[in-house]
Amino acid sequence: MPIFEYACAECDHAFEFWVRKEGDAVSCPECASSELERLISMPRVHSEGRRDRSMRAAKRRDRGQAREMMHTQREYELAHDD
């Protein structure tokens, strides 16, 4: 059963609604209006390729942060070398 996102035209309240079957009556939980606009939702797709790309990006980010920390530490040591 899909979950759809809606925005109320009357009160601008945005909410999600679990649609059991096509034609279910949907109304705003705030003002009970049926003047709704169905919003486009981001799909939640999980794949091995996506996971791999996310891991590679995280590793690149971590390496960059480590290099920056090492550089900062080295600059500090050079500036405070008595």
For residue 2, what pLDDT band results from cuts at 50, 70 and 90?
confident
How far apart (Å, rounded) are the C-alpha atoms in residues 59 and 66?
10
Average pLDDT over residues 8-26: 85
Q: Which residues pair with 15 in a beta bridge?
A: 6
- In terms of pTM, does the model score above 0.75? no
Q: Which residue has the tokens 């909410």?
A: 15
pLDDT score for 4: 86
Mapped onto helix, strand or coil, the DSSP state of residue 18 is: strand
pLDDT score for 49: 84
**pLDDT top residue among 1 and 58:** 58
pLDDT score for 66: 94
